[in-house]
């Protein structure tokens, strides 16, 4: 419930991530922090973006799909 409140507030204030910015990160290694603390920190390579979804691949080859609305911070590692 709290997470939905935060997401709605971010959208109303225009804080949603711009997918064009994320598309520029294709192939780059990033560290992503999600709003939901249970997701933790993801150190992965951005493989693909589609609408509001991001496909990440970690160093072990494991893939994960994250909705861009749940991202709080992105650090570019390389």
Domain interval for residue 69: 2-76
pLDDT reported for residue 22: 84
Euclidean distance between CA atoms 13 and 37, whole angstroms: 22
Burial zone of 66 (CB within 10 Å; 0-12 exposed, 13-18 middle, 19+ buried): middle
**Model pLDDT for residues 14-58, shown as the tens digit of each residue:** 555 677 888 888 999 999 888 876 667 889 999 999 888 999 999
Q: What is the CATH number of the domain that holds 41?
A: 2.30.30.100
Domains contained in the chain, number: 1
Check whether 6 has a pLDDT greater than 70. Answer: no
Average pLDDT over residues 2-14: 57
pLDDT of residue 46: 94
At residue 3, the pLDDT reads 52
3-state secondary structure 25-52: CCCCEEEEEECCHHHCEEEEEEEEEECC
pTM score of the predicted model: 0.73
């Amino acid at each position: 419930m709290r997470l939905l409140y935060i997401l709605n507030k971010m959208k109303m204030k225009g804080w949603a991530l711009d997918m064009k910015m994320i598309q520029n990160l294709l192939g780059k290694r990033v560290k992503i922090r999600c709003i939901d603390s249970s997701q933790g920190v993801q150190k992965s390579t951005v493989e693909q973006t589609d609408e509001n979804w991001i496909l990440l691949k970690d160093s072990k080859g494991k893939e994960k799909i994250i909705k861009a609305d749940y991202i709080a911070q992105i650090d570019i590692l390389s």
